[in-house]
Homo-oligomer: A and B are copies of this chain.
Protein backbone atom coordinates (compact mmCIF):
# COMPACT_ATOMS: atom_id res chain seq x y z
CA UNK A 1 0.00 0.00 0.00
CA UNK A 2 0.93 3.64 -0.42
CA UNK A 3 1.23 5.77 2.68
CA UNK A 4 -2.19 7.21 3.52
CA UNK A 5 -3.23 10.10 5.73
CA UNK A 6 -6.65 10.50 7.29
CA UNK A 7 -7.50 13.89 8.77
CA UNK A 8 -10.72 13.88 10.79
CA UNK A 9 -11.67 10.71 8.96
CA UNK A 10 -11.05 11.97 5.40
CA UNK A 11 -8.21 10.92 3.11
CA UNK A 12 -6.23 14.13 2.62
CA UNK A 13 -2.66 15.11 3.21
CA UNK A 14 -3.13 18.74 3.98
CA UNK A 15 -3.89 20.48 7.18
CA UNK A 16 -5.04 24.04 7.92
CA UNK A 17 -1.99 26.20 8.54
CA UNK A 18 -3.83 27.79 11.47
CA UNK A 19 -3.82 24.50 13.38
CA UNK A 20 -2.69 24.93 16.99
CA UNK A 21 -0.65 21.76 16.63
CA UNK A 22 1.64 23.61 14.22
CA UNK A 23 1.51 27.08 15.73
CA UNK A 24 1.85 26.23 19.42
CA UNK A 25 2.77 22.53 19.50
CA UNK A 26 -0.58 21.99 21.22
CA UNK A 27 -1.10 18.34 20.37
CA UNK A 28 -0.05 14.81 21.27
CA UNK A 29 0.89 11.80 19.20
CA UNK A 30 1.53 8.09 19.54
CA UNK A 31 2.63 5.43 17.06
CA UNK A 32 0.44 2.34 16.91
CA UNK A 33 1.64 -0.90 15.33
CA UNK A 34 -1.05 -2.87 13.56
CA UNK A 35 -0.38 -6.51 12.66
CA UNK A 36 -2.86 -8.33 10.44
CA UNK A 37 -5.35 -5.58 11.12
CA UNK A 38 -5.05 -5.82 14.92
CA UNK A 39 -3.81 -2.74 16.81
CA UNK A 40 -1.20 -3.56 19.45
CA UNK A 41 -1.24 -1.97 22.93
CA UNK A 42 -4.56 -0.32 22.15
CA UNK A 43 -5.44 0.33 25.79
CA UNK A 44 -2.06 1.97 26.52
CA UNK A 45 -2.12 4.13 23.40
CA UNK A 46 -5.62 5.34 24.14
CA UNK A 47 -4.72 6.23 27.74
CA UNK A 48 -1.62 8.13 26.51
CA UNK A 49 -3.68 10.16 24.05
CA UNK A 50 -6.36 10.98 26.58
CA UNK A 51 -3.91 11.93 29.36
CA UNK A 52 -1.92 13.97 26.85
CA UNK A 53 -4.85 16.06 25.64
CA UNK A 54 -5.89 16.68 29.22
CA UNK A 55 -2.39 17.86 30.22
CA UNK A 56 -2.36 20.17 27.19
CA UNK A 57 -5.59 21.85 28.17
CA UNK A 58 -8.13 20.35 25.81
CA UNK A 59 -10.61 17.51 25.90
CA UNK A 60 -11.79 15.34 23.03
CA UNK A 61 -15.06 13.50 23.40
CA UNK A 62 -15.15 9.89 22.30
CA UNK A 63 -11.51 9.63 21.17
CA UNK A 64 -11.74 5.85 21.24
CA UNK A 65 -14.82 5.71 19.05
CA UNK A 66 -13.37 8.18 16.52
CA UNK A 67 -9.97 6.51 16.19
CA UNK A 68 -11.61 3.08 15.96
CA UNK A 69 -13.82 4.36 13.15
CA UNK A 70 -10.73 5.71 11.35
CA UNK A 71 -9.03 2.33 11.76
CA UNK A 72 -12.07 0.70 10.14
CA UNK A 73 -11.30 2.69 6.96
CA UNK A 74 -7.85 1.28 6.43
CA UNK A 75 -6.72 -2.08 5.02
CA UNK A 76 -6.30 -5.00 7.41
CA UNK A 77 -2.54 -5.20 6.91
CA UNK A 78 0.72 -4.73 8.80
CA UNK A 79 0.88 -1.01 9.42
CA UNK A 80 2.54 1.68 11.45
CA UNK A 81 0.05 4.43 12.32
CA UNK A 82 1.05 7.69 13.89
CA UNK A 83 -2.05 9.13 15.58
CA UNK A 84 -1.89 12.87 16.30
CA UNK A 85 -4.56 14.83 18.15
CA UNK A 86 -4.31 18.61 18.23
CA UNK A 87 -6.28 21.44 19.80
CA UNK A 88 -7.55 22.23 16.29
CA UNK A 89 -7.94 25.51 14.50
CA UNK A 90 -7.28 28.53 16.56
CA UNK A 91 -6.95 32.20 16.55
CA UNK A 92 -3.33 33.20 16.29
CA UNK A 93 -3.39 33.72 20.04
CA UNK A 94 -2.29 31.83 23.13
CA UNK A 95 -5.90 31.92 24.31
CA UNK A 96 -7.79 28.75 23.39
CA UNK A 97 -10.95 29.56 21.38
CA UNK A 98 -14.10 29.01 23.43
CA UNK A 99 -15.45 26.63 20.80
CA UNK A 100 -12.92 24.32 19.32
CA UNK A 101 -12.86 21.40 16.93
CA UNK A 102 -9.89 19.14 17.55
CA UNK A 103 -7.85 17.80 14.65
CA UNK A 104 -7.28 14.05 14.38
CA UNK A 105 -4.51 12.90 12.07
CA UNK A 106 -3.64 9.29 11.22
CA UNK A 107 -0.44 8.92 9.19
CA UNK A 108 -0.52 5.35 7.96
CA UNK A 109 2.46 3.56 6.46
CA UNK A 110 3.30 -0.06 5.77
CA UNK A 111 5.13 -1.38 8.82
CA UNK A 112 8.78 -1.45 7.86
CA UNK A 113 10.34 -2.24 11.20
CA UNK A 114 12.59 -5.30 11.18
CA UNK A 115 12.79 -7.64 14.18
CA UNK A 116 15.47 -6.30 16.51
CA UNK A 117 18.80 -8.15 16.01
CA UNK A 118 19.17 -11.07 18.43
CA UNK A 119 22.72 -10.00 19.24
CA UNK A 120 21.53 -6.50 20.19
CA UNK A 121 22.76 -3.13 19.01
CA UNK A 122 25.44 -0.69 20.04
CA UNK A 123 24.25 2.53 21.68
CA UNK A 124 25.84 5.91 22.37
CA UNK A 125 25.31 8.70 24.89
CA UNK A 126 23.88 11.89 23.35
CA UNK A 127 25.19 15.32 24.27
CA UNK A 128 21.80 17.01 23.83
CA UNK A 129 20.00 17.15 27.17
CA UNK A 130 16.27 17.07 27.92
CA UNK A 131 14.74 20.05 29.76
CA UNK A 132 13.08 19.23 33.09
CA UNK A 133 9.37 20.10 33.04
CA UNK A 134 7.21 18.21 35.59
CA UNK A 135 4.07 19.86 34.20
CA UNK A 136 4.45 18.02 30.87
CA UNK A 137 6.48 15.00 32.01
CA UNK A 138 5.31 11.69 30.59
CA UNK A 139 3.32 13.27 27.73
CA UNK A 140 4.30 12.78 24.08
CA UNK A 141 3.45 16.30 22.95
CA UNK A 142 4.38 17.34 19.45
CA UNK A 143 7.61 19.19 20.18
CA UNK A 144 10.41 16.66 19.72
CA UNK A 145 13.18 19.14 18.96
CA UNK A 146 15.54 17.83 21.62
CA UNK A 147 15.21 14.33 20.19
CA UNK A 148 15.77 15.60 16.63
CA UNK A 149 18.95 17.37 17.76
CA UNK A 150 20.12 14.32 19.72
CA UNK A 151 19.52 11.99 16.77
CA UNK A 152 21.59 14.26 14.53
CA UNK A 153 24.64 13.58 16.71
CA UNK A 154 25.50 10.26 15.02
CA UNK A 155 25.41 9.01 11.45
CA UNK A 156 27.05 5.59 11.70
CA UNK A 157 24.56 2.91 10.68
CA UNK A 158 26.06 0.58 13.32
CA UNK A 159 24.62 2.69 16.15
CA UNK A 160 21.13 1.52 17.09
CA UNK A 161 19.99 4.23 19.46
CA UNK A 162 21.22 7.06 21.71
CA UNK A 163 20.76 7.47 25.47
CA UNK A 164 19.56 10.88 26.65
CA UNK A 165 20.05 12.56 30.03
CA UNK A 166 18.11 15.48 31.44
CA UNK A 167 19.71 18.84 32.21
CA UNK A 168 20.45 17.58 35.75
CA UNK A 169 22.49 14.71 34.30
CA UNK A 170 19.95 11.98 35.11
CA UNK A 171 19.06 9.09 32.74
CA UNK A 172 15.75 9.58 30.87
CA UNK A 173 15.56 7.31 27.80
CA UNK A 174 16.45 6.87 24.13
CA UNK A 175 15.82 9.37 21.35
CA UNK A 176 12.81 7.33 20.09
CA UNK A 177 12.37 4.85 22.92
CA UNK A 178 12.22 4.16 26.63
CA UNK A 179 15.19 2.67 28.49
CA UNK A 180 15.44 -0.28 30.87
CA UNK A 181 18.31 -2.08 32.55
CA UNK A 182 18.63 -5.34 34.46
CA UNK A 183 20.68 -5.98 37.57
CA UNK A 184 20.53 -9.32 39.38
CA UNK A 185 17.33 -10.22 37.50
CA UNK A 186 15.53 -7.05 38.65
CA UNK A 187 14.30 -4.44 36.18
CA UNK A 188 15.05 -0.70 36.37
CA UNK A 189 13.77 2.17 34.25
CA UNK A 190 13.98 5.96 34.58
CA UNK A 191 11.33 7.63 36.72
CA UNK A 192 9.52 10.02 34.38
CA UNK A 193 7.92 12.37 36.89
CA UNK A 194 10.26 15.22 35.89
CA UNK A 195 10.85 14.72 32.16
CA UNK A 196 10.48 12.06 29.46
CA UNK A 197 7.76 10.20 27.58
CA UNK A 198 5.80 7.38 29.12
CA UNK A 199 5.54 5.25 25.97
CA UNK A 200 2.94 2.53 25.47
CA UNK A 201 5.57 -0.20 25.20
CA UNK A 202 7.19 0.95 28.45
CA UNK A 203 3.90 0.36 30.27
CA UNK A 204 3.51 -3.03 28.58
CA UNK A 205 7.04 -4.15 29.53
CA UNK A 206 6.49 -3.14 33.16
CA UNK A 207 3.17 -5.03 33.19
CA UNK A 208 4.75 -8.14 31.62
CA UNK A 209 7.66 -8.14 34.08
CA UNK A 210 5.33 -7.76 37.05
CA UNK A 211 3.14 -10.62 35.76
CA UNK A 212 6.29 -12.77 35.77
CA UNK A 213 7.23 -11.83 39.32
CA UNK A 214 10.13 -9.59 38.32
CA UNK A 215 10.64 -6.54 40.58
CA UNK A 216 10.45 -3.25 38.63
CA UNK A 217 12.02 -0.04 39.96
CA UNK A 218 11.46 3.47 38.57
CA UNK A 219 14.57 5.46 39.49
CA UNK A 220 16.38 8.75 38.93
CA UNK A 221 20.01 7.71 38.39
CA UNK A 222 23.07 9.19 36.71
CA UNK A 223 24.58 7.32 33.74
CA UNK A 224 27.36 5.88 35.93
CA UNK A 225 24.80 3.39 37.25
CA UNK A 226 25.03 1.63 33.88
CA UNK A 227 28.69 0.71 34.59
CA UNK A 228 27.57 -2.09 36.88
CA UNK A 229 24.41 -3.56 35.36
CA UNK A 230 23.95 -6.87 33.53
CA UNK A 231 21.62 -6.02 30.65
CA UNK A 232 20.32 -2.93 28.90
CA UNK A 233 17.50 -2.44 26.41
CA UNK A 234 15.35 0.16 24.70
CA UNK A 235 11.71 -0.31 23.75
CA UNK A 236 9.01 1.38 21.72
CA UNK A 237 5.70 0.43 20.15
CA UNK A 238 7.03 0.02 16.61
CA UNK A 239 10.21 -1.93 17.31
CA UNK A 240 9.36 -3.81 20.50
CA UNK A 241 12.37 -4.57 22.72
CA UNK A 242 15.80 -3.61 21.36
CA UNK A 243 18.64 -5.24 23.36
CA UNK A 244 21.90 -3.29 23.73
CA UNK A 245 25.23 -5.13 23.64
CA UNK A 246 27.50 -2.12 24.16
CA UNK A 247 27.30 1.47 25.42
CA UNK A 248 30.40 3.61 25.98
CA UNK A 249 33.02 1.33 27.61
CA UNK A 250 30.45 -1.18 28.85
CA UNK A 251 29.30 -4.47 27.34
CA UNK A 252 26.02 -6.15 28.22
CA UNK A 253 24.68 -9.69 28.08
CA UNK A 254 22.23 -10.48 25.25
CA UNK A 255 20.44 -13.62 24.05
CA UNK A 256 17.60 -15.93 24.92
CA UNK A 257 18.85 -16.70 28.46
CA UNK A 258 18.89 -13.10 29.58
CA UNK A 259 15.87 -11.49 31.24
CA UNK A 260 15.71 -9.15 28.22
CA UNK A 261 15.55 -12.16 25.88
CA UNK A 262 12.78 -13.72 27.95
CA UNK A 263 10.76 -10.51 27.92
CA UNK A 264 11.19 -10.34 24.13
CA UNK A 265 9.99 -13.92 23.78
CA UNK A 266 6.98 -13.32 26.02
CA UNK A 267 6.07 -9.86 24.73
CA UNK A 268 3.26 -11.18 22.53
CA UNK A 269 1.34 -12.03 25.72
CA UNK A 270 0.68 -8.37 26.48
CA UNK A 271 0.32 -6.86 22.99
CA UNK A 272 -3.41 -7.47 22.59
CA UNK A 273 -4.75 -7.26 26.15
Give the interface of A toward B (CB within 8 A). Answer: 5, 7, 12-27, 29, 56-57, 82, 84, 92, 94-96, 105, 107, 109, 128-129, 131-136, 141-152, 167, 175-176, 195
Contacts and interface: CB of A to CB of B under 8 A. Distances in A.
A145 B146 contact: no
Contacts of A133: 129, 131, 146, 167
Given A15-B22, A17-B105, A94-B144, A149 B135 contact: yes
Contact of A5 (B13, B17, B29, B167): B17
Nearest to A139: B145
Given A57-B152, A175-B94, A145 B15 contact: no
Contacts of A25: 25, 142-145
A135 B141 contact: no
A141 B145 CA distance: 9
A-B residue pairs, 8 tightest by C-beta: A143-B143, A25-B143, A131-B131, A14-B14, A131-B133, A94-B151, A24-B144, A15-B17
5 contacts: A13-B16, A15-B19, A24-B144, A57-B148, A129-B135
Most B CB contacts (10 A, CB to CB) among A82, A135, A145 go to A145
Contacts of A109: 92
A109 to B, nearest CB: 7
Most B CB contacts (10 A, CB to CB) among A5, A56, A128, A143 go to A143
Nearest to A15: B17
Nearest to A137: B131
Nearest to A136: B145
Contacts of A195: 131
Given A57-B149, A143-B143, A148-B94, A13 B17 contact: yes
A132 B132 contact: yes
A148 B135 CA distance: 13
A146 B142 contact: no
Nearest to A195: B131
Contact of A7 (B17, B19, B145, B146): B17
Contacts of A151: 94-95
Given A13-B16, A128-B135, 18 more contacts: A7-B17, A13-B18, A14-B16, A15-B19, A21-B22, A23-B142, A23-B144, A24-B144, A25-B25, A25-B143, A26-B145, A56-B145, A56-B149, A94-B147, A94-B176, A131-B136, A133-B146, A135-B146
